[in-house]
Structure 1
């Protein structure tokens, strides 16, 4: 009998050793190949970079294969519309609702048509620049010049992140110099290279750019045709302060903070200055199983609790910014309503 009991114990121990460790993927509704379409067609842009970072982390956590597909806005929404089984997600940023506020074709109300999911990163680099030989040394110089009748051309890509900062400038002129806001004029272009070229050719006085794309030009000597200066970074100081001390390129975090609120003031109202965080977040098909969103909440919670993805983001000049889906939706809707006020004020 003792030999029999001993044999059973050995057999049970062997089974214990052979049993695989528990994996998150065992019970996850997210398995296999997952396609993440993004609202950009560039594989070198910030949307692709931020999404790739989080996709790699999700692939490891869920033992699934997340693939980022840079298809552009229209194709991304069409892909999301077609697939309800949780095998296609979308990632985009604030342009997804700003485009709708500006009445841009192809931008539906994402909060009605889709399920808005988790935020995960901020690009703190959205910026406005002038050439180094520009007479405008500050944003207040630009506002004052427009207020005193000068026509100032601002190169933007209409309907999104580029335009919201331009709208804020125009609103600030309206507040300080009522009736003079139309002296600030939009020069509608496309890509960042197009906006840069507008400045090089003398067609634009101010351009929308980014720390990542334009920092290199700010280090050129003043007599170089491509030399630029930052005037304004729309992210508030509390966001930029989370970046690595080294900043971006050869421009330190301390230097970048000189161009952000509260050091640069663009009035949004009598009580508040304008600031803007460019946030990246997931969007899902409205008919998708809610268990998929819940699984993404859990997976991303564990990824951010681990801490490795935050370090990778900061190395690429992104600010970690995780919110679960429900909190994210509420936050982004409040943000949309806030920016709708200044967009509507300019339309009047």
Structure 2
């Protein structure tokens, strides 16, 4: 009898939870098909990976169908401009404001033209790499080469996360070898596959990449044309320490920590190193109903309280990073202002 009553209790509890979730979905202003446009055209990059993880969690929580659409920066912003009813939302990272700071075409100030929403993840694996048979075995080797008069070509996607790290390296050359910083030359490319191909073809000496996209190449033998080695991860030491001990692929967290400040020094000035966390966040049409953004706040808060999404993120080497919309807006604006000063100082 006790077993029967216990079974009935579990069934009632399950039914109550299901009914509660159905009621929540019915009351939510977020319904039907939700198109999540991203500022990347690649389905193999970190933006797509992070967006897919959170989209799946939101679909389950809200009973809606969140579908990630890798359309690229310009198309994503234009799609967001056209739809204000919440059925199209955007996910991007710091490039949303860095592109504007760098004066890139198509990048308006996201804090003025759109509504910047919730943060949800950090990619601690934003990286710079060289071919495994490269003469450059460290960032300092790159700095010294440029300082000695050699042209070192760095493949980046201009106007964003790629360029902020490149700019920091260029500043490091200027600090140690004044007047030689232009020997560190940008090779402007597009997606991660384009940057990888530039290295495979011998067109780039250094490329911007990520642990998620490039770790597999670092495990290839040195005589393989696609073999790479990490030089530098821009993330803060405390961010990378939050990753799972197993790290990513065949590279442990401890191994990755060897490429993070202070183990790798890219000086901003005489007293501190440059670091940069690549953070992902939602962006909404300026006219989107505040109730929709508030509902996203509630849904995301509940998702992160449940804890499953954190486990999924860490398996893909992302660090959970949830802030509700009002806190996120202020935090990201402060971060924007901090790097605006850095960019301006490096332009001088």
TM-score normalized by the length of structure 1 = 0.91
Equivalent position of 1:38 in the other structure: 38
Number of equivalent positions? 331
Alignment match, 1:9? none
2:255 aligned partner: 255
Deviation at 1:151?
Answer: 1.5
Question: SS of 1:229's equivalent?
Answer: strand
- Matched residue, 1:340: 340
SS at structure 2 position matched to 1:223: coil
- Kindly indicate whether the alpha-carbon contact (under 8 Å) linking 1:37 and 1:70 is maintained by their aligned counterparts in 2: yes
1:245 aligns with 2:248: no
The Cα offsets for residues 39-98 of structure 1, whole Å up to 9 and x where unpaired, read as 112222221211111111111211222222222111211111111122221111111111
Q: Does 1:88 align with 2:77?
A: no
Map of 1:290 onto structure 2: 290
CA contact (8 A) 2:114 2:283 kept: yes
- 1:192 Cα deviation (Å)? 2.1
Q: Is the 8 A contact 1:59 1:65 kept in 2?
A: yes
Rounded Cα–Cα distance in structure 1 between residues aligned with 2:213 and 2:330: 31
Shift of 1:199: 2.0
| Whole-Å separation in 1 of the counterparts to 2:264 and 2:27 | 50
CA distance in 1, matches of 2:230, 2:44: 22
- 1:233–1:179: structure 2 CA closer, same or farther, 3 Å change rule? same
CA distances 1:277-314 after superposition (whole Å, capped 9, x unpaired): 11110001111111111111111111000000100111
Q: What residue in structure 1 maps to residue 145 of structure 2?
A: 145
User: Mind listing any 5+ residue stretches in structure 1 that lack a counterpart?
Assistant: 1-16
Distance 1:204 1:125 in 2: 20
| Kept in 1: contact 2:143–2:172 (CA 8 A) | yes
Bigger Rg, which one: 1
Tell me by how many angstroms 1:117 deviates.
0.2
Give the aligned partner of residue 207 of structure 2.
207
Structure 1 segments, 4+ long, off by >3 Å, are 19-22
Report Cα offsets for 1:321-346 as digits up to 9, x if no partner. 10111111111112112222232223
For residues 307-318 of structure 1, the aligned pairs below 5 Å read 307-318=307-318
Instruction: Give the drift of 1:157.
Output: 1.4
For residues 201 and 67 of structure 2, what CA distance do their matches in structure 1 show?
A: 39
Q: Is the Cα contact below 8 Å between 1:53 and 1:312 reproduced in 2?
A: yes
Aligned to 1:79: 79
Per the alignment, do residues 178 and 51 of structure 1 end up closer, same or farther by CA in structure 2, a change over 3 Å counting? same
In structure 2, what is the equivalent of residue 170 of structure 1?
170
Is 1:229 the counterpart of 2:194? The answer is no
CA drift of 1:198 comes to 2.1
Deviation for aligned residue 1:21: 4.0
1:169 partner SS = helix
Q: TM-score, length-normalised on structure 2?
A: 0.91
Contact 2:42 2:191 in 1 (8 A): no
Please give the per-residue CA displacement for 1:91-111, whole angstroms capped at 9, x wherever unaligned.
Answer: 111111111111111110000
Shift of 1:29: 1.8
Helix, strand or coil at the partner of 1:259:
coil
Going from structure 1 to structure 2, the CA distance change for 1:203 and 1:65 (only over 3 Å counts) comes to closer
